[in-house]
C-alpha cells in the first residue's frame, strides 16, 4: 500500500531544519593543558636521561684521568731580582713527558726513539717502569724545551703524553749560581736562596701553570758587580793555574753582600753541578786556615787591650819553639820590630808574641767577640761551623795568632774583619737588601773606635809602603788598604807540601770604609811572573786590585778628587 506523506506546514518545515542538540564535550583549553603537561614530563625525563648519560661518560673520563695523572702538585715561586730589580730567577711553563704503561704498544721501539732525542735517558729504568702492569703513570722526562717537546710529539708514540708544569729558569745562567741555589723537580727549593724562600717567604701549590703573585725577593747582589768579579776570578784561575778561587764584596757596615762567587761556577738548573764537590761553595760551605790575614785579629786584640800601641817594639829576633817545631819569620828582620812593622812585614814571631802576652783566655774571648768561633747562617744556607782546637793552650795560641790551628769559612772571617775597619761594630752578613721595614739586626761593639782607626792606618800603610806585602793591591783613586795571607793547606796527615791558600782582605776607601773585599786563590802554581813563588802578595793582591779596578766605577764611591761617578 502506498502511503503518502502528509504535507508539512511552513512552521513545521522550519522546526525540522534546526539541528539536534549536541552532546557536551571537554573545553578546548583543558585539553591543551593536558598535552602541555605530558610534553613537559617527557622532556624532563629526556633531560634527566641525557644528564645521567653525560655524568656516566665524564665519570669514566675522570677515572681514566685519575689513573694516569699524578696526584702531587707543582709549586709556583716568587721571582728573584738583584738590588736594582734585574731578574735572576723566575718560573716558566714547560712540557713534561709521561707515559701510561697500559697504553704503550711497543715499549722497546718507544724507548729507542726517545733515547735518541733525550740524552741521559735511563733506558733500563724506563723499560722496567713500562713493563709494570700495576702502574698507570710514569714520568719520562720533565721540563722539556719547546723544540724537544714538539719533536717528541711528532713521533706519535701511543701511550705517551705531555703535562704542562712550572719550571725554574735562570736568565743569567751560572752567574751567582751558588747564592741562588736550586730547586727540585717539583719546583721546591733545596739549596741557597731558593731554599730560604720556601722556609721564610712562601711558595704556592698549584695544579696548573699559574705564576706566583707574590712580590719578588730582592737580593743585595748587584749583578753588574757580580759579573765583573766573576770575570776577574776566572782570569786569575787561568793565570795562576789554581784549583778554585773565591771572592766577595760586602758593605762594611750593613753586611749586605754586593757580590760573592766561588769558582768553578755552578748552573742552578743543573743538578749535577750543584752536587759536584769540585764546584762547592768555598766561601760558605768550607772552613780553612787562612794564614796571615788572621794577624788582623791578633794585632787588633793587642791594641784594644792597650797592651801595645802601633809604636810598641817587640823583639822578634829569636824564633819560638812549639814542641819539635820552630816558629820563625819568612824574611827575618834581624832586629826588633814595632807593632806597625809586625803587621806590614807580616811577622809570625811578632804576632805570636803579642798573643802570648795577651794569653789564651783573652784570645778566645776576643775571637768569640769577633764572631769567629760560633755558628753562622745566611739566606744562602748554613755557614760551615768553625773548627777550633780540641786542646787550646800555648801552642794553639801561638799558631792561631798567625792564622793556623783554627779554621773558619771565608765569609765568616770577612764579617768579623769588617768590624775592625767600620768603627768597631759587629757585622751580620746578608744576601738581602736591608730595608727600613725589616731593619738591621742588633750589633755589638767588637773594638773601640780608636782601635779601628789604628787598624785602618795599618791596612793602608801595608798597601802604600814600599815594603808592605799588599802594595800590589793599590788602585789609584780608591784608597785601598789590606792584608795578605799565605796559608798551608791542612790534610789528614799534616800540612800538604806546596799547596797553599793565597788570600787578600781589603777595605776601601780607608779614610771611611764603605766596602770590604776578600779574595782567595786555592793552590796557585809558581810561575815566571811570580818568580817561582805563590805568596799572596804576588798572587791574591794583584787579583784584588784587578777586581776593584773593574768594579770601582760601578760603585757609588768618590775618586781622589772627590767627584762622583
pLDDT mean by block of 10 residues, the chain; 565 residues: 44 48 51 61 63 53 44 81 97 92 92 93 92 87 90 94 92 96 93 96 88 94 98 97 97 97 94 82 96 98 98 95 88 94 96 97 98 96 96 96 97 98 97 77 95 98 95 95 94 77 97 97 94 95 97 82 44
Is residue 48, in this structure, part of any structural domain at all? Answer: no
Is residue 61, in this structure, part of any structural domain at all? Answer: no
Is residue 143, in this structure, part of any structural domain at all? Answer: yes
The pLDDT of residue 37 is 57
Could you tell me the three cell numbers for 229?
A: 768579579
Give the H or E element holding residue 75.
strand 74-76
Provide the residue range defining the domain that includes 175.
74-102+136-218
Is residue 51, in this structure, part of any structural domain at all? Answer: no
> Among residues 184, 218, 252, which one ends one of the domains?
218
Q: What is the CATH number of the domain that holds 91?
A: 3.90.1310.10
Residues 278 and 173 in one domain: no
Strands (E), 100-199: 138-144, 160-169, 182-183, 189-191
Distance CA 10, CA 551 (A): 134
Is residue 125, in this structure, part of any structural domain at all? Answer: no
The pLDDT of residue 295 is 98
Q: How many CB atoms lie within 10 A of CB 376?
A: 20
Q: Closest Cα partner for 555 from 481, 484, 483, 479?
A: 479
Ordered DSSP codes for 226-275? HHHHHHHHHHHHHHHT-SEEEEEEEETTT-BEEEEEEES---TT-HHHHH
Is residue 14, in this structure, part of any structural domain at all? Answer: no
Residues 404 and 377 in one domain: yes
Residues 358 and 506 in one domain: yes
Residues 314 and 182 in one domain: no
Given a contact cutoff of 8 angstroms between Cβ atoms, the answer to whether 524 and 246 are in contact is no
Q: Which residues pair with 94 in a beta bridge?
A: 165
The pLDDT of residue 30 is 56
What's the number of domains the chain is made of? 2
> Among residues 172, 189, 218, which one ends one of the domains?
218
Is residue 295, in this structure, part of any structural domain at all? Answer: yes
Residues 350 and 497 in one domain: yes
Distance CA 81, CA 515 (A): 22
Active-site pick, 292, 340, 346, 452: 292
Residues 186 and 281 in one domain: no
Distance CA 494, CA 303 (A): 33
The pLDDT of residue 48 is 60
The pLDDT of residue 41 is 63
Is residue 37, in this structure, part of any structural domain at all? Answer: no
Residues 97 and 175 in one domain: yes
Distance CA 392, CA 398 (A): 10
The pLDDT of residue 38 is 62
> Among residues 165, 185, 218, which one ends one of the domains?
218
Q: What is the CATH number of the domain that holds 375?
A: 3.40.710.10
Residues 370 and 410 in one domain: yes
Residues 278 and 320 in one domain: yes
pTM: 0.83
Residues 159 and 206 in one domain: yes
Does residue 435 have an active-site annotation? no
Residues 432 and 548 in one domain: yes
Residues 408 and 471 in one domain: yes
Amino acid at each position: 500500500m502506498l502511503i503518502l506523506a502528509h504535507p508539512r506546514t511552513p512552521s513545521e518545515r522550519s522546526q525540522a531544519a534546526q539541528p539536534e542538540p549536541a552532546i557536551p564535550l571537554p573545553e578546548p583549553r583543558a585539553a591543551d593543558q593536558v598535552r602541555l603537561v605530558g610534553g613537559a614530563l617527557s622532556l624532563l625525563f629526556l633531560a634527566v636521561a641525557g644528564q645521567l648519560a653525560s655524568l656516566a661518560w665524564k665519570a669514566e673520563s675522570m677515572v681514566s684521568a685519575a689513573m694516569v695523572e699524578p696526584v702531587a702538585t707543582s709549586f709556583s715561586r716568587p721571582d728573584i731580582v738583584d738590588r736594582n730589580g734585574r731578574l735572576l730567577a723566575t718560573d716558566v711553563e714547560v712540557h713534561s713527558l709521561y707515559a701510561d704503561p697500559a697504553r704503550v704498544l711497543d715499549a722497546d721501539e718507544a724507548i729507542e726513539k726517545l733515547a735518541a732525542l733525550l740524552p741521559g735517558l735511563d733506558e733500563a729504568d724506563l723499560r722496567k717502569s713500562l713493563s709494570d702492569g700495576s702502574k698507570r703513570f710514569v714520568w719520562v722526562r720533565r721540563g722539556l724545551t719547546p723544540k724537544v717537546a714538539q719533536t717528541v710529539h711528532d713521533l706519535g708514540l701511543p701511550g705517551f703524553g705531555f703535562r704542562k708544569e712550572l719550571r725554574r729558569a735562570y736568565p743569567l745562567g751560572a752567574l751567582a749560581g751558588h747564592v741562588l741555589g736550586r730547586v727540585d723537580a717539583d719546583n721546591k727549593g733545596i739549596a741557597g736562596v731558593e731554599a730560604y724562600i720556601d722556609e721564610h717567604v712562601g711558595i704556592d701549590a698549584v695544579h696548573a701553570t699559574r705564576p706566583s703573585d707574590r712580590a719578588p725577593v730582592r737580593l743585595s747582589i748587584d749583578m753588574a758587580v757580580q759579573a765583573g768579579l766573576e770575570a776577574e776570578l776566572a782570569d786569575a784561575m787561568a793565570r795562576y793555574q789554581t784549583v778554585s778561587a773565591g771572592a766577595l764584596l760586602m758593605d762594611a757596615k750593613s753586611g749586605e753582600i754586593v757580590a760573592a762567587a766561588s769558582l768553578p761556577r755552578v748552573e742552578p738548573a743543573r743538578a749535577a753541578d750543584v752536587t759536584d764537590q769540585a764546584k762547592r761553595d768555598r766561601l760558605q760551605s768550607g772552613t780553612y786556615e787562612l794564614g796571615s790575614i788572621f794577624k788582623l785579629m791578633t794585632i787588633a786584640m793587642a791594641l784594644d787591650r792597650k797592651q801595645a800601641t802601633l809604636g810598641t817594639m817587640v823583639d822578634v829576633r829569636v824564633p819560638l819553639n812549639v814542641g819539635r817545631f820552630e816558629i820563625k819569620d819568612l824574611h827575618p828582620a834581624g832586629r826588633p820590630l814595632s807593632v806597625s812593622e809586625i803587621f806590614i812585614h807580616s811577622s809570625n814571631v811578632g804576632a805570636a808574641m803579642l798573643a802570648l802576652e795577651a794569653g789564651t783566655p783573652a784570645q778566645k774571648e776576643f775571637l768569640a767577640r769577633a764572631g769567629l768561633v760560633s755558628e753562622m747562617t745566611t739566606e744562602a744556607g748554613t755557614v760551615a761551623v768553625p773548627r777550633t782546637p780540641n786542646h787550646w793552650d800555648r801552642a794553639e795560641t801561638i799558631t792561631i795568632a798567625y792564622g793556623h790551628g783554627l779554621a773558619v769559612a771565608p765569609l765568616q772571617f770577612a764579617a768579623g774583619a769588617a768590624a775592625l775597619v767600620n768603627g768597631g761594630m759587629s757585622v751580620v752578613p746578608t744576601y738581602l737588601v736591608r730595608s727600613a721595614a725589616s731593619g738591621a739586626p742588633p750589633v755589638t761593639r767588637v773594638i773601640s773606635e780608636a782601635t779601628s782607626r789604628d787598624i785602618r792606618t795599618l791596612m793602608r800603610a801595608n798597601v802604600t809602603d814600599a815594603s808592605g806585602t799588599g802594595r800590589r793591591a793599590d788602585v789609584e783613586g780608591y784608597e785601598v788598604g789590606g792584608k795578605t795571607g799565605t796559608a798551608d793547606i791542612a790534610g789528614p796527615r799534616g800540612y800538604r807540601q806546596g799547596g797553599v791558600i793565597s788570600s787578600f782582605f781589603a777595605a776601601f776607601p780607608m779614610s771611611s770604609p764603605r766596602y770590604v773585599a776578600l779574595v782567595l786563590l786555592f793552590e796557585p802554581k809558581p810561575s815566571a811572573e811570580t818568580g817561582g813563588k805563590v805568596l799572596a802578595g804576588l798572587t791574591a793582591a794583584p787579583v784584588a786590585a784587578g777586581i776593584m779596578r773593574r768594579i770601582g766605577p760601578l760603585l757609588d764611591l768618590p775618586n781622589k778628587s772627590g767627584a762622583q761617578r
